[in-house]
Structure 1
Amino acid sequence: MAKARTRGARALVWLVVLIAGLTGANLAAVQWGGGSWMPQLALDLEGGTQIVLEPRLAEGESISQEQLDQAVSIIRQRVDASGISETEITTQGGRNIVVALPGEPDAATLQRIQASAKMEFRPVLASAAANAPGATPAPTEADPEAEAEASAPTDAWDQAWITPQVQADFDAFQCSDVDPTQVADPTKPFLTCSNDGTARFILGPVAVDGANIADAGVSAATNSQGQATGGWAVNLELQGDGPSNFEDVTRAITGLPEPTNQFAVVLDATVLLAITSNAIITDGNAQITGGFTQDGAQSLADQLRFGALPVSFQVLSQETISPTLGASQLQAGLIAGLIGLLLVIFYSVLQYRALGVVVVFSLLVAAILSYLVVTFLSSTEGYRLSLAGIAGLVISIGITADSFIVYFERIRDELREGKHLSSALETGWKRAFRTILISDAVSFLAAVILFLLSVGNVRGFAYTLGITTFIDIIVVALFTHPLLRILSRTRFFSSGHRLSGLDPQALGAVYRGRAKFRTPTLEGKGATSAKEAQRRQTIAERKSAAATTGKES
């Protein structure tokens, strides 16, 4: 008895620790992470910013629907890389892309949207430090076809691309001349700078297209023997024509003197990274190293993975938009949740008497945990609560109530069999918890699948449904069952008070020890319950009861 009480108290202590930990995490996010004690709202409830992207095309070029769909997919990945923000990304007129962001997006998110140029890999033909101020501006793109040369270049890394005119342009070129909106001809050399403005480059024509990047990830850097070097590396995987083109360029430049043994990753008309080729890559899988920190390597991997748009875009317009649903719909959703909560409480009190109080407090604990988790994710992961997300929270009330019903009915079944309350509590818990786990596992799996296969508001619904399903298990295991363990030691519940919801007589229990049953004296409902209990007797128990009745008579 004391042991069960101790186990119940220990579980409640762990619950208090969990709530305190989540509260502390939210406090830290508010104090030092720019977070808030209120969840951020999604586009449908708060409004936000609408950005219209227009493709940058050379004269005579057009964009196909396939390219447009691919661009939408990549931009969505860029935005979602910072968290679940309920962003709406659509196409307009078969040409433009419309990105609607909730609230006021931060600079990093806007940069992800606007930095939508096409990624390219170009060989480095020459490089130099950035020019001193005062140099004469020059065009950023050279046209070697306009120059008479004895020999024409044969490949992208051929030094013949550096004609006297190109060299003169490069000498006069400075980084302030770089135009991020410029669409460079992929078949000609290109003058540009590093994205930090510290170096200038003459780059050859495009050797590998960014659209050939299949994936980019982060791992610990290793040497040629496969031993860890203590740093971080970016693993690049190519597809399509990428592997063969990458092999050609690495085979040609590996072993050349600097900077001709390098090729540049170009994004937004600037060099994102100049990579030195140390080996010939034949399978399209390369490892990029260079003293990266883990965050630096992850940032580069994200840019490589999400930066390969099939067509370059520029911002056509940016404006603030009003919410599509607004505060009235939010209020309606909250009222619906409150009505559902009150109905669950009313049913619980009507059906389970004083046990309904346990339901009320359990729902309160579930609400506190859900609020703290959603608020923390909103502050740290960019999650925004939409009307669909609120629907997921409302549905969770039913999921949690279902767990209570399963548990309480298991206990009452045990009491009907004549067991003492403490024994019925533990036996009922073991049987009920397995059922609750299976039920919640199915709900959680459905939420995960829905989250992975959907976009927009539907993901918000799946997100909150998954969170609250997991919280349901925590509440039942760390609060509801431990609280019942403690309450079962009180006289009100242990004596089976008629208002406790655990009255054996009201439940129809007739078992009073081995092969001993009380004589049914109740009429109506009580009599029916007694007959039901006698029907459940085994053959041996019936014979024993008949013999006892014969002796008494």
Structure 2
Amino acid sequence: MLLALILALGGTMFLQKAFTPKLGLDLAGGTTVTLSPVTQTGQSPPEEILDRAVNIIRDRVNGTGISDAEVAKSGDNIIISIPGVGQSEAIKLVATTAELRFRQVLAMEATQVPQNLSTEAPTPGASPSAQPSSTAKPSSTARPSGRQSATTPSASPTGKALSSALTAPTPGATPEATQTGTGRDQTGQKQNNKGKNGTPTPAPSTPPTAPPNQDPNAGINTQGIDPAVLQQFQKLDCADPKNRGQGVQDDPNKQYAACESDGSAKYVLDVAKVVGTDIDTASAGVRQGTVEWIVQLDFKSKGAGEWSKLTTTAYNAQEPRNKVAVVLDGVVITAPNIISPIPGGRAEITGGFDQVTSTQLADQLKYGALPLKFQRSSIDTVSSTLGSDQLEGGLIAGIIGLGLVVLYSLLYYRGLGLVAVLSLVVASILTYTAVVVLGHNAGFRLSLPHIIGLVVSIGITADSFIVYFERIRDEMKEGRRTLRAAVEVAWVRARRTILIADAVMFIAAIVLYFLAVGGVAGFAFAMGLTTLIDIVVVFLFTKPFIALLARLKFFAKGHPLSGLDAERMSTEPARTTTPQEA
């Protein structure tokens, strides 16, 4: 099992081509971002609101507590220090408001697609894994520019993909009917888009322009739409990038006119019935049976009920009001048709995500929305505060400490000291590979507090060996047992002591990790990690190895260099036997 663990960690390193640990802010430098709050009154924000923003940003940039990112207040400003240079994705993440709304579409209009974006149909991989019931309404397929946003039905015994009613995003520049080639126009009447060869005929990329004297709202069901919002909708130009940029804090209690993120459509949206605070958790993953990255949402109990009501209302409405728009920071990510109500409190967001963008969105939604809007006052690249000299000094200190433990073990325990040395080597291999793998998969960055925690753990690991060795000696002296018998009896007693000691250390590390931030939390994480590694090494390597050595005559007969000779353990010679006699 130990070999399998080492091979798994090593194999992960080779597959990811990651052979060195990532370094933290104090050892490798990074990027410092200063955020200044923007309020409607121009006055300083309340202290509690600013504190909440600090906590949310800290969770975003250092959600695991091991990436060595630092977030602190400086007056009304927030200063974020992120390890590594050129962390543009993380910089964008910290300042995004991430206000999520689910709004029913009241009206929509396809717009001119930017020429620099291509148009492509959803891939077959996004097809549903389970067909909807025969009573479900037919859905339309969109071809958004340069992205795949179709949300397809899926079914799972565990209910993880519960968006079985989300089928397709909103029509973009070239809408066409799916399945039978029929769709619905805005009056709800079926229309046939088949050409002579039976294939769908795409509509013109640009909708026809209405005559000057014609009502601009012709063909739009204006019932229930605020006239002011309708006027904003008519004036909204989605070709302008500023109307498609995130960062808008739209009022969830009012109707809203918004653009699709790629400019392919614009919408009139109803008040938000489900908002970001109704989300319990969010996670990124690949849809089962496809290669499409999605963001899965789990709603709280109240949010689950509102989500069910919203999808039921949309399901019973006509095109385009049978759509629910997913709005992030005032921009529509996707607006799929609802082909059946969705109970259960789960949903999915699709939109041509890759692993990076889906994980980034999930983190934004999971760690909450900023209560303030911020502007970036400055972005600076900073050098390391300690640098390679301190890193080298820390490593030298670790090597000296390890050398002293090895020297003491060999002088005092002689042959048994070799067991301690090999155990420390195995522990070092596990620690190094774990640090590298965590660095490239969980954001772990090695800083000076981490190194201190790893060096301190050398003594913790050596304590476990000493406890076991002394138990073996006691059993051979007091019980007059043979070595092979003493090894087993001593293990029963020693393992309880080892587990209790490691449990106390691990509990202390957990408490320190959750109560502290920054370097102290990093120290606690490193100490907890090496405590777990100590248990693995003692149980899977040290004890089996000693049991194997007990079969050798060198140890079984108490050779003077074995560390188990009678002269070192007792004034009376201990009875020893050969492996055959045992």
TM-score calculated relative to the size of structure 2: 0.69
| Aligned amino acid, residue 116 of structure 1 | T
Work out the CA distance in 2 between the residues paired with 1:426 and 1:511.
Answer: 21
> Can you give the 5+ residue segments of structure 2 that lack an aligned partner in the other structure?
116-221, 288-292, 576-582
Indicate whether 1:463 and 2:525 are aligned.
yes
Map of 2:7 onto structure 1: 20
- The 5 Å alignment of 1:487-526 reads 487-508=549-570, 510=572
Any conservation in 1 of the 2:114–2:263 contact (CA below 8 Å)? Answer: no
Match of 1:435 in 2: 497
Relative to structure 2, which stretch is displaced further, 270-279 or 460-469? 270-279
Aligned ranges 1:524-539 → 2 under 5 Å: none
Is 1:337 equivalent to 2:398 in the alignment?
yes
Counterpart of 1:168 (choices 225, 228, 234) is 234
- 1:52 equivalent among 16, 28, 34: 34
- 1:89 CA displacement: 0.8
Q: 1:104 aligns with which of 85, 88, 96?
A: 85
SS in structure 2 opposite 1:320?
strand
Over aligned residues, Cα RMSD in angstroms? 3.8
| Alpha-carbon spacing, 1:209–1:356, altered in 2? closer, same or farther (3 Å) | same
Structure 2 equivalent of residue 124 of structure 1: 105
**Is the CA contact (8 Å cut-off) linking 2:282 and 2:298 kept in structure 1?**
yes
1:466-490 deviations in whole A, cap 9, x for unaligned? Answer: 2211111222223222332333333
Query: Is the contact made by 1:247 and 1:281 (CA closer than 8 Å) also made in structure 2?
Result: yes
Q: How does 1:271-282 map to 2 (within 5 A)?
A: 271-274=332-335
| Cα 1:263–1:316 shift into 2, 3 Å | farther
1:288 is matched with which residue?
Answer: 347
**Pairing 1:359-374 to 2, within 5 Å after superposition:** 359-374=420-435
Report the Cα distance in structure 2 between the residues aligned to 1:63 and 1:40, rounded to whole angstroms.
Answer: 37
Alignment of 1:390-405 (within 5 A): 390-405=451-466
Equivalent residue letter for 1:287: R
Out of 243, 255, 274, the residue aligned to residue 178 of structure 1 is 243
Give the paired residue count: 460
Check the 8 A contact 2:113/2:264 in 1, yes or no: no
The residue number in structure 1 matching 2:536 is: 474
* 1:499–1:201 CA distance, 2 compared to 1 (3 A): same
AA in 2 matched with 1:378: G
Unaligned runs of 5+ in 1: 1-13, 135-155, 222-230, 514-553
Change (3 A) 1:232 1:381: closer
Secondary structure, in 3 states, of the residue corresponding to 1:496?
coil
For residue 239 of structure 2, what is the amino acid of its counterpart?
Q
Are the counterparts in 2 of residues 214 and 237 from structure 1 also a CA contact under 8 Å? yes
Given that 1:74 and 1:307 are in contact with CA atoms closer than 8 Å, whether structure 2 keeps it comes out as yes
1:74, CA displacement in angstroms?
A: 1.7
Q: Is the 8 Å Cα contact of residues 233 and 266 (structure 2) preserved in structure 1?
A: no
Shift of residue 179, structure 1, vs aligned partner: 5.8
- Higher relative helix content: 1
Cα distance, 1:180 vs. partner? 3.0
Larger Rg computed on CA atoms: 1
Structure-2 change in CA distance of 1:414 and 1:237 (3 Å):
same
Q: Closer, same or farther in 2 for the Cα pair 1:159/1:465, shift >3 Å? A: same
AA matched with 1:305: K
Structure-to-structure mapping, 1:182-193, within 5 angstroms? 183=248, 186=251, 190-193=256-259
Deviation, 1:261, is: 4.8
Equivalent of 1:200, from 254, 259, 266?
Answer: 266
Q: How many Å apart are 1:182 and its aligned residue?
A: 6.0
Cα distance in structure 1, aligned partners of 2:231 and 2:568: 101
Candidates 486, 500, 512, aligned match of 1:450: 512
**Shift of the alpha carbon at 1:237?**
3.3
State the Cα distance separating 1:69 from its structure 2 match.
1.5
CA contact (8 A) 1:213 1:239 kept: no
Q: Any residues of structure 2 matched to 1:122-161 within 5 Å, and which?
A: 122-132=103-113, 158-161=224-227
Deviation at 1:401, TM superposition (A): 0.5
Identify if the C-alpha distance between structure 1 residues 177 and 301 changes in structure 2 by more than 3 Å, giving closer, same or farther.
closer
Structure 1 residue 55, shift from structure 2 partner: 2.4
| Residue 71 (str. 1) matches residue 71 (str. 2) | no
Aligned letter for 2:267? F
Change in 2 beyond 3 A, CA 1:349/1:92: same
CA-CA distance at 1:232 after TM superposition: 8.6
